[in-house]
Chains A and B, each alone.
Chain A
Amino acid sequence: MSLVLLQLIGLFAGLSMLAFGGGAGVIPDMQRAAVDHYHWLTAREFLDSFAISRAAPGPGSLIVVLVGLKAAGMVGAAVSFAAMFAPSCLAVHIVAKYWHRAARSAWRAVVERALAPVAVGLTFASGLSLMRGTEHGSLPWGITIVSTAAFSLTEVNPILLLAAGAGTLLLMGP
């Protein structure tokens, strides 16, 4: 196995276990390693990969597939996917089994009530740290605010919002 593949496995398996609060939290770390340390892709390519993975269906952490693709082709993409998802999926599977067994216990009710505000806070934080972690100019700020309001207040289809966001930057962008 080539060195690049081992580096991909090491990076993403490590980030997989550090990715508390969803995939977004490790984006800055991933950028530092993939762009500055290993030079698999440029900062611009990383940002674009991030946008592709957010715009495509499925979880945003599929960005690892694109980083792997650029670093080592299709094998790199496959290895990165496995390294990013296997450790965390195994962990959640084990937790879920215990959770199921504790169905009616008093401690589970307490844990449920304690987790709700932390979970909601992590959701907000992931959005905010994405804005801090990437270049977010005034126009993207406006787009983000409008789409936050539209998505939380109306039943508008997210796909329409994404298309509108792309169109706005194409028409008014730098």
Chain B
Amino acid sequence: MRNRPGSESFDQPSLASLFVSFVSIGMMSFGGGLAAWTRREVVQRRGWLDDQQFLSGYALSQLVPGATNVNLAVFIGTQMRGAAGAIACFCGLTALPVAIVLVLGVLYLHSQETTGGARVSLALGGMGAVAIGLNLGTGVRLAQRNIRGPIPIAVTAIVTLSIGVFGFPLVHVLLVMLPISLLLAWLTRPR
């Protein structure tokens, strides 16, 4: 798949179509589901990337600091159309959500001064719990498709537990696990 002829000769989408695609990704995606929506739009609907290219971009987006999905938008924009593409994707992804968050924030701050504030907080708590589930569900879907064999499973489990359960600092885990994963991938590379 990776070496399929022409797999890197992207059709060059216009800046406008990048912007429009990421406006829809930004608006359709809630909670942790952004990566899932991005994949649906960019891989399934538009065919700009294949699954392998998407996943490596997704992994890099997680490894470079910053919000994964914003990074992913900048990554895809850069791959497609360079700096201008990156800006188009970033603006498309964030413009409307920023406006919506601001409006909700102003409404929230007002609601706290009224008796309805406690109910608003309860509803927000319920949505927060679901949003965490969307994060975990995205992980399950990615694992089903891309994690095969004992070594990748072990690396996935160690990263998950060390940060998610034992609360080790992210930087420390990456400093240990990245070189190990790279070494294992190199040793087991197809020849």
Contact surface of A with B, Cβ cutoff 8 Å: 16-25, 44-45, 47-62, 65-66, 69-70, 74, 77, 81, 84-85, 87-89, 91-93, 95-97, 99-100, 103-104, 106, 108-132, 134, 136, 139-141, 143-152, 158-159, 161-162, 164-170, 173-174
Chain B nearest Cβ from A134, distance in angstroms: 7
Q: Is the CB of B182 within 8 A of A89?
A: no
Ordered by A's residue number, 27 sampled pairs between the chains whose C-beta atoms are within 8 Å are: A18-B65, A21-B62, A54-B131, A56-B104, A58-B34, A59-B69, A62-B94, A62-B98, A85-B67, A85-B90, A92-B60, A103-B8, A108-B56, A112-B52, A114-B184, A114-B186, A118-B181, A121-B177, A123-B135, A125-B159, A126-B32, A126-B164, A128-B165, A143-B126, A144-B132, A166-B127, A173-B125
Q: Does B16 contact A (CB under 8 A)?
A: no
Q: Is the CB of A165 within 8 A of B182?
A: no
Q: Is the CB of B126 within 8 A of A169?
A: yes
Residues of A within 8 A of B69 (CB): 22, 59
Task: Provide the bound-state CA to CA distance between A106 and B122, in Å.
Answer: 52
Least CB separation from A164: chain B residue: B130
Q: Pick the contact of B64 from A60, A91, A120, A134 — CB < 8 Å? A: A91
- Name the residue among A19, A112, A113, A144 with the largest chain B CB count within 10 angstroms: A113
Q: Is the CB of B126 within 8 A of A170?
A: yes
A sample of 4 more A-B contacts (CB under 8 A), given A164-B130, A169-B122, is A47-B125, A111-B182, A147-B134, A162-B31
Task: Provide the bound-state CA to CA distance between A114 and B125, in Å.
Answer: 36
- In the complex, per-residue mask of B108-139: 1 if CB is within 8 Å of any chain A CB, else 0: 11001000000111111111111111111111
Q: Pick the contact of A120 from B27, B60, B100, B156 — CB < 8 Å? A: B156
Q: Is the CB of A162 within 8 A of B131?
A: yes
Task: Provide the bound-state CA to CA distance between A70 and B62, in Å.
Answer: 29
Task: Provide the bound-state CA to CA distance between A108 and B186, in Å.
Answer: 11
Q: Is the CB of B130 within 8 A of A161?
A: yes
Chain A nearest Cβ from B163, distance in angstroms: 4
- Name the residue among B26, B93, B130 with the largest chain A CB count within 10 angstroms: B130
Q: Pick the contact of B124 from A48, A91, A114 — CB < 8 Å? A: A48
- Given known A-B contacts A55-B30, A56-B101, A162-B31, A117 and B155 have beta carbons under 8 A apart: yes
Q: Is the CB of A52 within 8 A of B104?
A: yes
- Given known A-B contacts A85-B66, A92-B71, A117-B152, A124 and B124 have beta carbons under 8 A apart: no
Task: Provide the bound-state CA to CA distance between A112 and B50, in Å.
Answer: 13
